[in-house]
Structure 1
Amino acid sequence: MNGRKSLIFFFAVLHFGVLIKLSLCLSPDGLSLLSLKSAVDQYSDGHEAFSDWNDNDTTPCRWTGISCTNVSGFSDPRVVGISIVGRNLRGYIPSELGSLAYLRRLNLHNNNFFGSLPSQLFNATSLHSIFLYGNNLSGSLPPSICELPGLQNLDLSNNSLSGPIPNELKSCKQLQRLILAKNKFSGEIPTGIWAEMQYLVQLDLSDNDLNGSIPEDIGNLSSLSSTLNLSANHLSGKLPESLGNLAVTVSFDLRDNNFSGEIPQTGSFANQGPTAFLKNPLLCGFPLQKTCRDSKAESPKSSPKAENRTRKGLSSGLIILVSFADAAGVAFLGIVIVFVYWKKKGNSNGCSCTGKSKLGGNQKTQLCVCPCVCCKGFKNEDSEMEDGENAEGGKGGEGGELVAIDKRFTFELDELLRASAYVLGKSGFGIVYKVVLGNGIPVAVRRLGEGGDQQRYKEFVAEVQTIGKIKHPNIVRLRAYYWAPDEKLLISDFISNGNLASALRGRNGKPSTSLSWPTRLKIAKGAARGLAYLHECSPRKFVHGDIKPSNILLDNEFQSYISDFGLNRLISIAGVNNPSSSGGFIGGGLPYPKSVQTERVHSYRAPEARIPSNKPTQKWDVYSFGVVLLELLTGKSAEISPSTSTSVEVPDLVRLSRKGFEEGKPLSDMVDPMLLQAVHATKEVLALFHVALACTEADPEARPRLKNVSENIGRIGT
């Protein structure tokens, strides 16, 4: 009997000792985290991911994937973040994580977690960001998820969640991003909940089994500024006109559903491209090529009885007579339309979106009123045509000839040869000089190189004349050109204050101290206006193809100018030989220096632009401009130095910016420290961040048009 008591006493002491050891070694937060390690180790080898998760530690704050912070009232730091991503971990999400009272961010995306979301997880009431996309979670979405008072980001996409979307989501009043794409949610999209979500920026319910119509109150999402993606479901009915109330920056994706009727032409609908509505056979109207009259023509045929009544009511002779009268009426109407068209074309006050028209003879610039609304709001600085668009230019022979695109901008070739010249920079598009003419006016002269035959000359002239028609306050004007077999020059306006790259990073590696927040916002607005004009109003709806800070020039007032558009095509047409390494300047006025710094390899290209076979699109420019905006906001460079002296590359600015928002980092940790002085501009900085992130979406179709980008930036700070 005594032996038995001794044994019981021994085990009690042993158990008590183990508890004392654990209490001395590991905090309660650490014990809760070990449940996650245990839940994974049962089903897969998580040794690598949890190799330093040691129960002998006093705190979990040094463990991989764990972040902590000090909390008043506690001697030990508390766990605020869990981030273990892309490790192919197989296991379930333990309910014990709900005991982490100060957990703010749970990031376990791109693993293989299975099972349902435990409702106890939402006992961690400090959670504001949950990123569990790319797993194999199943079951329904717990209604208790919105008991988290500060939930801002919820991304459960690419799982196997099912059941209806709960009405309780209306309690998620702080939610900014709701992404439930690529699951098995079914039923109708709940109505009456969306007006409660005053901060929702992005809504993605695509690739599910949802049916029914789009709720009218989705149009009440006044803060939505990124994407509304309802594609690849079984939704039907007419598109509610209330969606037109959404911000013009919102990109719709309503593809692959069963919507019917005419696409509304109000508000945000007018800013969507045709891809937003594809694979809806019963939809019609702009921007689809299917008119609604075509749809009516495809409606079910009338009954045989009705056809018989028609045959009986009209004789064949009468039918022929009516048809002949209709044809004559249509022909007469066509003649009238053609007459009116040519009469208006001859009118000096005619309007065109190509820049070929007068915009008014008085000092006040009139707005272009024509079907192409792209001209509206853009001023043409010239009161009449003076670009010599019908001029044949030089003959392109041995001597060559200097041809002025702007006839008011006249000077002789000899004057250009005698003028003082200074090197501004060198790139793959040739060397650029500042040349001061005899009248004291500075111009920028770009030497492309040598090569090209007579046939190329004609194509070159046509292309130069097209570029020369571009007239906008935020685009560098091309004024003249010179062609000869051994020389090809482009003469444009000289912009006096360098470029955005130098302003951000400094000519000597020191950033400019004058780039305040209002200045940066001014630069962004001007550049956006210039690019939007190129995309929407230029003669060929240009794609720039090389947007980066060094191609955004600045004057002394920090007005921005888009430069270098069309150069790739010009060099290709001209067939020049190595434009950046040719001989001396024309007339021998200034030799090319051997030490001109070449531009660094840049990381402004969109993901799809890095595939050689792809042709440039306007969405490439949108992405590149988004990266430029991120540079303006963060002060960090997106460029990668070509130097081989170090293996450390500049981090991907887009990835880091998105990660910062996903993890809920404070804005002060992401923006340029110089912007922190403008405390009043926090909302403006955040608004521009949202625009930049929308521009840099990986999916080109999710990116807004630059017209929308310009309009959205234009509203910031006003």
Structure 2
Amino acid sequence: MFNLYISILFFINYASGLTTDGLSLLSIKSAVDGGDTVFSDWNDNDSTPCHWSGVTCANISGVSDPRVVGIALAGRNLRGYIPSELGNLVYLRRLNLHDNSFHGSIPDQIFNATSLHSIFLYGNNLSGALPASICNPPRLQNVDFSHNSLSGTAQKFLGNCRQLQRLILAGNEFSGEIPSGIFPELANLIQLDLSSNSLNGSFPYDIGQLKSLSGTLNISFNHFTGKLPASLGDLPLTVSFDLRHNNFTGEIPQTGSFANQGPTAFLNNPSLCGFPLQKTCRDNSSTIPPGTQSFSPAVDENETKKGLKPGLIILISVADAFGVALIGLVIVYLYWRRKDSNGCSCTCKGRFGGNQKSKFCSFPCVSGFPNTDSEAESEKGDAVSGGASGGGGEGGGGGLVAIDKGFSFELDELLKASAYVLGKSGLGIVYKVVLGNGIPVAVRRLGEGGEQRYKEFVAEVQAIGRVKHPNVVKLRAYYWALDEKLLISDFISNGNLASALRGQTSTILSLSTRLKIAKGTARGLTYLHECSPRKFVHGDIKPSNILLDNDHQPHISDFGLNRLINITGNNPSSSGGFMGGALPYLIQTEKVNNYQAPEARVSSNRPTQKWDVYSFGVVLLEMLTGRSPEFSSPTTSTSIEIPDLVKWVRKGFEEETPLSDMVDPMLLQEVHAKKEVLSVFHLALACTERDPDIRPRMKTVSESLEKIRT
């Protein structure tokens, strides 16, 4: 039968001239029930499959014709088997068949596609064991086989997938023990989800060697036994544990990452004890950290016989009142969460098995996004791969549009990805989202208004998207629908300048590092003022809007957002520096923004570039003195007050205050840099002149900073 099939393919190729990639793709059409109808545009008379629905091609160096690099057929209710001929697509990078009804086993031959880096088969009816060839593709990064009926045991060959970043096997029927020796080989693993299986035995001690892990380590709803491996504490401090519904025993260790976990992480392990659980270990009271108490007051037998003492009665009453208040808070929280989501719901594959109608999906449920019933359309029309796609437009259907041609992902990938809230302000809620290719992005929800201003919104976003400078956060894509607007930008991983200056990160800012940040910020502002398409005015320069990467290079964020917020109908306020940035951020209810120029506080004045120069000068003063200008109440006087930090520095120079009394104590040890510090002080004071006409242009400020060396 197989030889007959090959003969037919060769005959088709001879008759039509279809490429070998096209012939391999026709095997899907044959393997799916009703394939002629479902794939009506997959015509064997075509010379190339590159215009077929769900197929992506690319030009490969050294190869004359475009080759198939992506297959996206998710959510189409396809019923059939996965053909092994897909392994002949040697340049295939992404295979996306999730949320269909494919059955049978995953063929070994698929992994002959040695360019494969992402394979998404979740939400089907696949059975059998993991293919032994799964690690054949040397660059395989993302594997999601969750919510199928796969079985068997975890095999040691998984350790051969050394580039693997995500391994998601939740909601299957895997059983047995996990052998040791796998995790030390997976040095790049970011996400591990083995929840809702039947895995048992003790959890491997070498789990602590997953140094790249982030997000949540999820092994809940299994049958693991024994003590918790102490090496879990060696995982990065940002990792959350989900160890619920297992049979772990003994005392919870109190080292490393364990100290950052709440009680929810350990629930439904009846034999676990120790902090943060309320169950203390019998013969070791040290499980409760100093300063905390057990929630169960001890009562001796005599007290029981005599009745409850008044103090105990009061304690019980207070506990009852606390319980009632807690229930009330939960009800209010659920009410506002329901209200905030405008009643939207999405069908999610249950993390713990089965389907659940829930608002707690991997990515926040938004009514403008297609649910599982419309994912097929999103795969066809909303894949972001270089140009505008799925325009959405004034019809309100919703569309994901790439601004950067080198940026490529699919809408369902965005929805599936784990999202972490970075913060919320008047400029929207911002999430960190890690895409299937391992690239983190920042996604800002702008709001739900602006139905009649689509063209204005798009024009503004496109103008922002044309800004390309290494010291400005890059906007990559946007999503428009009548009830949802999203901005997708680069994620900057090392927090912001405000956090670093105030000691909220491990970053130590030497004078040379501060100068590096100042110079980069000045270059970015100069570009916005002089070289950007619209000669932008940022209007909200402050340390929380200056994001830092791991090399302490600054990235200016949030420019142009006030305009977009006005279009979508929200009331703009302090952004807190969320666009593209990492935690921690300070959310403040601002009254008077002391980073703003005096004239910027008069509502009738139009923004000018000299506003940014003033704000940058205040930032320079904060970097030199270590003092924050803070946010203060508005003055009742009709005159405009100069912020305290600026007045304090000016007064210090007028009274010839010793420099050591004005400079940040962290910089005092760098006495050799007195001349450089004075130069920056004088430049900052020039930037913060009351009269905007006296302030220098940002280009002049940048050139002056470049001349200062440490």
Fold match by TM threshold 0.5? no
The structure whose Rg is larger is: 1
TM-score range (shorter-chain normalised) is 0.3 to 0.5
TM-score (norm 1): 0.43
TM-score (norm 2): 0.44
